[in-house]
Structure formats: structure tokens, C-alpha cells
Amino acid sequence: MLIAYAHEIVGHHSEFPTQYGLRKLFYWKTMSSDVHKYVRSCHSCQTRKTAATKQYGKNHPLPIPKAPWQIIVMDFLINLPSSMLNDHKYNSLFVIVDILTKMVHLIPTATNVKAEGVAKLYFENIYHLHGLPKGIVSDRDTKFTGAFWCTLQKMIGTDLLMSTTAHPQTDGQSEHSNRTLLQIL
């Protein structure tokens, strides 16, 4: 029961976060092997794994940033249950991930936010903490490919690194964060 509870608390992530959570309060001799067996047999984890699909063509790796928040990944997690905060209704999250540190910022927003709204959300929530990135990886959502967004990024000197349909794993960091967030929710 302890392992099941700890595994659920960490969002069905993996055996290491589960063990870490358990070791804060408990210890038994076979804890590592017990957690390993439980996680490998967890029905929820086994049914949520995505199948690896073969990709065609060359996949160019992303540049490795030299410092945190130089290259970020942005995506949206949409169609979430509606919630209210300060008389504003939200049903989506704007997910921003630093490629180097894997730090994630989740910004509540609405599904119908436009490019100008995305730029404003970034400026109000991320810029004052981390400044402007040198590169932004994103999918080809119209919010990121719009004329306003492209012009703004060009003016401030940020490269837009768009993923392709043949290689969606380019944007894998935000997709992984989204999947983990959905499991936790």
C-alpha cells in the first residue's frame, strides 16, 4: 500500500521518484527491488506509455545551451477543465521548459489566446525571471508562427526553432512535461 500511494503521489513517474518519496519516511531491506517490481507491473503506467514509431529522414539535434534559459521549449496543454482565478476563466496551460535545466513554468490561459496574448504572457511571467532566450523550440501552432510573433522575435534577436511534422520529438521536452502534468492531474 505504501508503494502504491507513493507511486501515485509522484504521478506514476518512475521507480526513482517513488523510492525517493518513500525513503524520506520509511526503510526496509528490499525496498529497491519491491519498488522496481511494483512500477514495472503498474497497470496505469503500462497503458499510458506511448509506442515508439519509426521516423524517416534526418533529425538534426538541437544546439546545447551554454547557460540556463538560453533555449526554451514552448507548447500549450489545451482543453483542461475550466477554472477561475481572479475573475478570469482558464482552460489551458502555457508550458515553458528550459532545455538545459528542465525547469518548467506553467501559466494558466484560455484556449483562444492569440499571438499577442502569448507574447504578453511570456513577458509578464518569464521575462522578469529569466530574460530573453536565444532560441525557442515550438511546434507549428499559429500562435508561434503568426506574423506578430515572428516579427517580435526577429526584432529582439531570438531564433524560432520550429519542429516538423516528420520529427515531432524535436519538441519532446514540452510534450514530456505535458504528459507528466496530465498524469499528475
Shared domain for 78 and 40, answered yes or no, is: no
Domains contained in the chain, number: 2
Residues 95 and 139 in one domain: yes
Give pTM, 2 decimals: 0.56
**Tens-place pLDDT, residues 122-164:** 888 998 899 888 888 877 666 666 665 666 677 677 776 665 5
**pLDDT value for 78:** 85
Q: What are phi and psi of 131, to 5 degrees?
A: 75, -160
Residues 42 and 132 in one domain: no
What does the block give as the cell for 149? 510573433
- If asked whether residues 89 and 167 sit together in one domain, one would say yes
d(CA 166, CA 168): 6
* pLDDT recorded at residue 185: 72
How many angstroms separate the CA atoms of 150 and 116, rounded? 11
Domain holding 39, by residue range, is 2-48
Give the Cα separation of 118 and 136 in Å (integer).
Answer: 13
Same domain, 111 and 42: no
Q: How many residues does the chain have?
A: 185
Domain-embedded: residue 55:
no
Considering the domain boundaries, does residue 58 fall inside one?
no
